[in-house]
Structure 1
Amino acid sequence: MKIQKKYKGTVVPLVTPLTARYELDEQAVERIVLNLYKNDAMPFILGTTGESASLPATLKHAFVKATAALKQPGAEFYVGISSNCFEESVELAKSSLDAGAAAVAATLPTYYHLSEDQMKDYFVRLADAVAGPVIIYNIPATTHMSIPLELIDELSHHEFIVGTKDSERNDGRLDRSLELWSGREDFSHFLGWAAKSAYALLNGGDGLIPSTGNVAPEIYCEMTKAVIAGDTEKAYHYQHLSDTLGNVYQSGRTLGESLRALKVLMQENGLCDAHMMPPLSALHERDEQNLVKSYHQLLQQESSFFKQPSNV
């Protein structure tokens, strides 16, 4: 029997919906968050997908406040607190937890390359200062550092470190992570590598953090139901849908370009506008046209699952 943990489930790393004046679009926040809750998913704001490194502190705090106001009974939300400034991370963490966040997540600071001892010292100091639930977020694509699993396992026994989100694309690392923590009641493993979602859940993973959930959280809702029912074939069917939709906006694009493409698809679904915070910007017009065309072709091919969107 799978252990029931406090921190689990589908936690979608939200885009940050912006107005043309680079302010938080609070009406879009409501549409996006309520769409997640409707599909048994939870929001994770101010992460990589949310352009957090480019956002001013005032907008971050406004996003936390807006998300907290939408929290429903039994639902949770998570907040990214990553910053090169330790004090800013601690301040955002405390205000987020005070607002009702289930936990906060932090990557390594990204300006200096850190030794393993420095990584350990950073997370211990952060967890001590926050004095609330902290998730260690490993994402070498942006930090250019990989946090060793042995170090995460050592840190996992800290009273305030409750889990890890791992976006490193490494099969051996994933298998070792599941081996280390699937049986731990007090420590959760969230996977941020969408292509391995079904595999992770079927092999003891506690949760997923898929950016594609911004557009179609229902994929992961149904995938989870299939895993719980022991229907491996159906779980991998939803994995295929996740892969196909992910490829529409990610394939052949840099991370920054894929985030703009993701917002374009969300705009097609009437969830938010596609404005990006500098330095990220729009794709070429032809690229966006081809993106939207490919998206609608996918919806037609998979019409038994996806509903055709209507702009608002």
Structure 2
Amino acid sequence: MNYSGVVVPAITPLEENGLLDEAAVERLWERFEQYGVDPFILGTTGEGPSLSLALKSAYIRLAGRLQTPRQRLFVGIGSACLEDSLALAFSAFEAGADAVVSTLPSYYALEVDDMRAYFLALADRVGGPLFIYNIPSTTHMSIPLSLVDELSGHPNIVGMKDSERGEERLFEALRRKPEGFCHLLGWSARSALALELGSNGLVPSSANLSPRLYRALYEAARAGQTEEAARLQKVSDALGEVYQKGRSLGASLAAMKAILAAKGICGPQMAPPLRAMAPPVGAASPLVLSQKDIDLINEWI
């Protein structure tokens, strides 16, 4: 299967009681379908590590029902427990998912041999296409590219979502990418560059705010329109700064939901331990936007 394109690491809309906000999920999916992007649920942006298995299962079932014939559905199954990851994978494929995505279990520091053994054990039993998810900012471990080379030979391991920062790593990953192995970039600031160098697609959290922007950036880069891709990269950088600059990862996700709440797409609720941020209304809000920020949001969201 061709996994290239824009994959949105979807937020998890929550009601005030902590349950899944199904109406908000439907609104998100309508926007994803409108702009031709694919959803990836239960990842970092989706607060996957903070959600109960029951809520994850409910999200998987709903995403499967909402999936259109055009869309591919990616489901995060990362867990500290191998059996829980497998249970989520089985549920995902039963619901119609096209691929599952797993980080390393991150409580214990792992040696390369541990990483290899874990992903092979997962891939042997997962029952469908599996993406390796490299995100050192949360797991505090980097999956070596030499190990990725080895794992790419497993028939169920079809690609890698790489969110590690560093151009040297990006250049090397794309230089040595095995034929038929999918590379998806989770580093928005290098989206245009990665596509120019041969990455298969993007997984930008800001696409929750503007799927239109990232579809346009992807199409421009794929068409060799380097000036337009560079222009849209600058828009992407500016949009990311609105909710990310000066904030931790968790706080930036809360700020993103606050912006989406102000636009009527979802509520601001977060899963503990993260806390909700009030929508940006007036100077009393913790998310104070400049007129330039407001104009950017109004143009692209």
Q: Bin the TM-score by the shorter chain.
A: over 0.9
Aligned to 1:121: 117
Q: Alignment RMSD, CA only?
A: 1.7
The equivalent of 1:276 in structure 2 is: 270
- Offset at 1:10? 0.5
Find 1:16's aligned residue among 12, 16, 29: 12
- Could you list the runs of 5+ residues in structure 1 that have no partner in the other structure? 308-312
- Tell me, which stretches of 5 or more residues in structure 2 are unaligned? none
Task: Find the aligned partners of 1:287 and 1:85 in 2 and give their Cα distance.
Answer: 44
Contact 1:82–1:89 (8 Å) recurs in 2: yes
Q: Distance in 2 between matches of 1:59 and 1:161?
A: 26
2:293 aligned to 290, 298, 301, which one?
298
Q: Is 1:227 the equivalent of 2:221?
A: yes
Structure 1: how far apart are the matches of 2:283 and 2:154? 47
More displaced stretch, 239-248 vs 222-231: 222-231
Which amino acid in structure 2 is aligned with residue 265 of structure 1?
Answer: I
Where 2:285 maps in the other structure, the secondary structure is helix
1:126 aligned partner, one-letter code:
L
Structure 1 letter corresponding to 2:29: V
Q: Deviations over 1:186-226 (max 9, x none)?
A: x1000000000011111111010000000001111111121
For residue 60 of structure 1, give the secondary structure of its aligned residue in structure 2. Answer: helix
Q: Which residue identity is paired with 2:179?
A: R
Is 1:85 aligned with 2:81?
yes
Q: Does residue 57 of the first structure (1) align with residue 53 of the second (2)? A: yes
Is the 2:161–2:186 Cα contact (8 Å) retained in structure 1? yes
State the alpha-carbon separation in 1 of the partners of residues 297 and 51 from structure 2.
36
* 1:217 pairs with 2:211: yes
Cα pair 2:258 2:277 within 8 Å, conserved:
no
Partner Cα distance (2:196, 2:111) in 1: 34
Deviations 1:71-102 (A, max 9, x none): 11121110000000110000100110111111
One-letter amino acid of the structure 2 residue matched with residue 282 of structure 1: A
Shift of 1:293: 2.4
Does the aligned pair in 2 maintain the 1:163–1:189 contact within 8 Å? yes
Q: 2:197 aligns with which of 173, 196, 203?
A: 203
- Show the counterpart of 1:310: none
Q: Which of residues 244, 249, 254 in structure 2 aligns to 1:255?
A: 249
Aligned counterpart, 1:194: 188
Deviation of residue 173 (structure 1)? 0.6
Instruction: Name 1:238's counterpart in structure 2.
Output: 232
Q: 1:30 touches 1:70 (CA, 8 Å); kept in 2?
A: yes
Matched with 1:33 is: 29
**CA–CA distance in 1 between the matches of 2:284 and 2:211?**
22
Whole-Å separation in 1 of the counterparts to 2:87 and 2:265: 30
Change in 2 beyond 3 A, CA 1:223/1:114: same
Q: Distance in 2 between matches of 1:160 and 1:48?
A: 22
Instruction: Specify the alignment match of 2:137 in structure 1.
Output: 141
**Which of 154, 158, 162 is equivalent to 1:162?**
158
Partner secondary structure for residue 289 of structure 1? coil
Question: More displaced, 221-230 or 156-165?
Answer: 221-230
Counterpart secondary structure, 2:250 = helix
Please report how far the alpha carbon of residue 6 of structure 1 lies from its aligned counterpart in structure 2 after TM superposition.
Answer: 1.2
Cα distance in 1 for partners of 2:68, 2:21 equals 20
Q: Percent identity?
A: 47
CA distance in 1, matches of 2:296, 2:9: 26
For residue 102 of structure 1, what is the amino acid of its counterpart?
D
Q: Using the alignment, how far apart are the partners of 1:301 and 1:215 within structure 2?
A: 11
Task: Please tell me the residue identity of whatever aligns with 1:123.
Answer: F
Q: TM-score, normalised by structure 2?
A: 0.95
Residue 133 of structure 1 deviates from its aligned partner by 0.4
Report SS of the residue matched to 2:176.
Answer: helix
Change (3 A) 1:301 1:124: closer
Secondary structure of the residue aligned to 2:160 is strand
Whether the 8 Å CA contact 1:10–1:209 is kept in 2: the answer is: yes
Residue aligning to 2:100: 104
Q: Given that residues 264 and 288 in structure 1 are in contact (C-alpha distance below 8 angstroms), is that contact kept between their aligned partners in structure 2? A: no
Please say if residues 15 and 269 of structure 2, whose CA atoms lie closer than 8 Å, have aligned partners that are also in contact. Answer: yes
